[in-house]
């Protein structure tokens, strides 16, 4: 009986050894995966010295990781158009010969200013054609000596201080956009977006594109935006409260991993992080950083460059 138990014991040890030997590659793979996820580094690469004087002059600041509301945006393509509510087709009151045409395309006009002088066919007396609003002449069909027919547009005057931003909304997103939602309007060569809100969502589809029109009104006090410009609209589709986030400027890529730099006494340490949602201003942190942790933000490129120098030195 004793020999039987010993035989069973040694046989069990043999089976256990075989199982452990088979599991070693899996354990190694999991360990490597966890190391990648949490960004483990060699101890000597974990931090580096950076003087307080250099930090103070490098455009860096220290922030605290905390919960944050991160909006998720819907991107829509569109263009700027004249505001039809602030556009006037100027027509003659009576047909006749145009004696003077005082304004040209691109000219600014004030409300009540004379655009042309026309000699009436009925009375043979000249009368003045005046602008009904202040704005800019964008079209003109009136030259001296021409005949002004009744009902014919002679001038098109529009107030360019306020434009329409029209976007194309396609069926998959019909339920996402509603009147009153905030919209950021991105315009090429303009560093900052223009902020507005959705003023109108069409109830009728465009037959050719099967899209709806989403419209926002854009004020341009300097008249530095132009009808016809292509634009992109960022509409907040939803906002998610995440338990931990940092400023997007704090995150750098190092050795293929996302890292955040943190104060570590008189040194700077790097923490590999796993990121989640981002709106370009804040980025969710899923792991690698604790709540209320202090971190560097701003010009963190200089910290990445310093860390890369340390890594290169270690490899040499």
Task: Convert the pLDDT of each residue in 267-291 to its tens digit.
Answer: 899 999 999 999 889 999 999 999 9
**Average pLDDT rounded to a whole number, residues 247-255:** 94
pLDDT for the residue 306:
86
pLDDT for the residue 85:
93
Q: What angle do CA 104, 109, 111 make, to 5 degrees?
A: 140
pLDDT interval class at 58 (50, 70, 90): confident
């Amino acid at each position: 009986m004793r020999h039987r138990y010993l035989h069973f014991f040694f046989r069990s040890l043999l089976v256990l050894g075989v199982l452990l030997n088979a599991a070693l590659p899996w354990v190694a793979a999991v360990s490597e995966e966890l190391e990648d996820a949490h960004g483990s580094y060699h101890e000597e690469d974990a931090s580096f010295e950076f003087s307080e004087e250099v930090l103070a002059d490098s455009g860096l600041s220290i922030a605290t990781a905390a919960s944050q509301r991160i909006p998720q945006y819907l991107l829509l393509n569109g263009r700027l158009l004249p505001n039809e509510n602030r556009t006037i087709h100027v027509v003659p009151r009576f047909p006749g010969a145009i004696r003077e045409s005082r304004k040209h395309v691109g000219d600014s006009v004030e409300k009540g200013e004379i655009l042309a002088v026309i000699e009436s066919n009925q009375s043979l007396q000249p009368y003045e054609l005046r602008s009904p609003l202040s704005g800019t002449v964008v079209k003109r069909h009136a030259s001296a000596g021409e005949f002004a027919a009744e009902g014919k547009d002679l001038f098109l005057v529009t107030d360019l201080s306020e434009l329409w931003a029209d976007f194309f909304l396609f069926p998959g997103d019909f339920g996402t956009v509603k009147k009153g939602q905030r919209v950021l309007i991105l315009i090429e060569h303009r560093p900052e977006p223009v902020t507005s809100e959705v003023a109108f969502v069409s109830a009728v589809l465009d037959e050719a594109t099967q899209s709806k029109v989403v419209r926002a009104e854009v004020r341009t006090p300097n008249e530095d935006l132009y009808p016809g410009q292509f634009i992109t609209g960022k509409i907040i589709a939803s906002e998610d409260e995440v338990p931990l986030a940092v400023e997007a400027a704090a995150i750098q890529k190092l050795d293929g991993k996302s890292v955040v730099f943190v104060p570590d006494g008189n040194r700077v340490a790097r923490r590999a992080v796993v990121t989640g949602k981002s709106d370009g201003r804040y980025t969710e942190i899923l792991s690698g950083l604790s709540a209320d942790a202090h971190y560097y933000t701003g010009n963190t490129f200089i910290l990445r460059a310093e860390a890369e120098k340390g890594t290169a030195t270690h490899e040499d």
